Structure 1
Amino acid sequence: MTTDELLENTIEAVRSAGSELLDRFGPVVRYETFDQLMTALAANDDAALAILRPRLTELRPDARWVEEELDGGALPPGEWWVVDPAEGNINHLRGIPEWAVTATLVRDNQPVLTVVHVPLTADTYTAVAGAGAFWNGQPLHVSQTSSLALSVVATSQARPDEAEAVTRRVGGSITAMLHDALVVRTSVPATLHLVNVAAGRIDAFWQYAGARADLLPGALLVTEAGGRISDAEGNDWTPASESFLAAAPGVQAEAVSTLSKALVA
């Protein structure tokens, strides 16, 4: 099938999974133990995956499937579906509206097609490598802000069981950004910050560590919207990198400088 057909079919699959999660969204899901929390999270994942996996596998039968959405690091060569069936799953359980469904086709560690759907607002973000980024069919462009002091920036918690060295680095970076940026937002999930960077609503997003499913959709959207992707020190980013930065071109260098200062503080 053509790239356009692949994109349209991926959109349909992601929206269908989103509809399933929307039907499950409502009152706060109560849990008393970690095992109960894991069971509730898995129930959402399984409901969405029951729709996504067969449809996406049919679209690209030779593409392999990333089994664990929290995994990071480089993938083996070839095509892979990197899917987050409930991005911001904990928000869904708590009745918080910031959650989404994502599907990204990755080829030799480069995202080539992505779909991010936000069921509560019916917003769909799409990108194909070399063909631009779109929000409900309208082109996306990163912001024209040229000063970090005038910027809204954001970061996210990669996972709740992060190593102490990483959490201290996160804390130091937030403190540094509070000094240098206009507004600092901290929340999960990463993908919804990244669609805001692609749409020009916020000016930069950074994160330490992180899963492929958190970062690859937004990396493609931001790049195709004219933004810059690097690690926090300004080096080329890959799924094996230890940090991630997505920024409008006018603030990227300042953001790197601020995060680099936090690293040595």
Structure 2
Amino acid sequence: MSPELLAATVAAVRHAGARMMTRYSTESRQPGLPELLAHLRANDAAVVEVLRPALTEALPSAGWLDDEHGSGPMDGGRWWLIDPVGGNVNAAHGMPDWNIGVSLVQDGRPVLAVVYFPVLDEMFTATAGGGAFRDGEPLRISAKTALNGALVGTGQAQPGQAPELAERMAASVVAMSKAALQVRISVPVSHQLAQVAAGRMDLHWQFDNVRAHAAGVLLVQEAGGVVTTLDGTPWELASRSYLASAPGLHAAALDVLTGRP
């Protein structure tokens, strides 16, 4: 991946973050669901309005997907996958944990990732085979080897989860709460994956994988983490589930999440 393309992507994402900061307020509150949904859509539109022309100019041959809840296989070639405002609902409620997320996927594999946290002014980047970085400094995954000292997490990727999925997620939280030091249940998922890549958290698991997670997954992989499905098979863009973990915790976490003794 060329340094010029990464630089152009970072510039576009930083510009989009600045655009969102003009809309963001710690006092932000909407009186009801219709107003909240309209605000979320307007946030996404404001970011896409900045990102799409900039990224299209940087790589005109790439396709475009900005459905952050999209899942399943996709056509070959190169695609920009955009999560315009990861944690949009947090931003709309005046909380600081939201981000702008972009990944470039080539033939079903993420090859470039940029995740920017405007409130903290932290820029996470990764390229396939080129490592992962925060503000230019290399990221290193956690060195922990025991779950009893681990900060772990999961979250809701898609709204309107089926009852069976919600119950499975709840059961996994109970199981992991008995094994790990602390379990976080929060959005955006990309936030947790970036923290795993930075060694601030130790692992993240997901039952409802969506394609927009690709940026966070690449960050974890390039920081030295292990990412598989919950069956232990290699992660793919269309996988239904995954565990992104420090290497020393991965096997034990899989045992907990799958109910193995």
TM range (shorter): over 0.9
Structure 2 partner of 1:219: 217
Q: Residue type of the partner of 1:226?
A: G
Contact 1:74 1:238 in 2 (8 A): no
- For structure 2, which runs of at least 5 residues remain unmatched after alignment? none
Structure 2 partner of 1:170: 169
Structure 2 partner of 1:257: 255
| 1:231 shift after superposition | 1.1
Cα RMSD of the aligned pairs, angstroms, is 1.3
Does residue 1:121 correspond to 2:120, yes or no?
Answer: yes
Contact 1:233 1:259 in 2 (8 A): no
Structure 1 partner of 2:91: 92
Does residue 1:31 correspond to 2:31, yes or no?
Answer: yes
Contact 1:63 1:79 in 2 (8 A): yes
Aligned counterparts of 1:183 and 1:69: Cα–Cα separation in 2 = 28
SS of equivalent to 1:8: helix
Q: Which moved more, 1:4-13 or 1:23-32?
A: 23-32
| 1:39 shift after superposition | 1.2
Aligned counterparts of 1:68 and 1:136: Cα–Cα separation in 2 = 27
Aligned counterparts of 1:62 and 1:243: Cα–Cα separation in 2 = 30
Runs (4+) of structure 1 moved beyond 6 Å?
none
| 1:217 shift after superposition | 0.7
Structure 2 partner of 1:206: 205
Q: Residue type of the partner of 1:31?
A: P
Structure 1 partner of 2:193: 194
Q: Residue type of the partner of 1:83?
A: I
Does residue 1:146 correspond to 2:145, yes or no?
Answer: yes
SS of equivalent to 2:209: coil
Contact 2:102 2:113 in 1 (8 A): yes
Q: Which moved more, 1:61-70 or 1:141-150?
A: 61-70
Structure 1 partner of 2:179: 180
Q: Residue type of the partner of 1:132?
A: G
SS of equivalent to 2:22: helix
Structure 1 partner of 2:157: 158
**Identical residues among aligned pairs (%):** 42
Structure 2 partner of 1:231: 229
Contact 1:111 1:217 in 2 (8 A): yes
Does residue 1:102 correspond to 2:101, yes or no?
Answer: yes
Q: Residue type of the partner of 1:194?
A: L
Aligned counterparts of 1:211 and 1:239: Cα–Cα separation in 2 = 8
Contact 2:66 2:84 in 1 (8 A): no
Aligned counterparts of 2:32 and 2:23: Cα–Cα separation in 1 = 20
TM-score (norm 1): 0.95
Aligned counterparts of 1:246 and 1:178: Cα–Cα separation in 2 = 17
Structure 1 partner of 2:72: 73
**C-alpha distance after superposition, 1:199-224 (max 9, x if no partner):** 111110001113211x1011111100
Contact 2:66 2:83 in 1 (8 A): no
| 1:248 shift after superposition | 0.3
| 1:233 shift after superposition | 2.4
SS of equivalent to 2:126: strand
| 1:234 shift after superposition | 1.4
Q: Residue type of the partner of 1:148?
A: L
| 1:67 shift after superposition | 4.0
- For structure 1, which runs of at least 5 residues remain unmatched after alignment? none
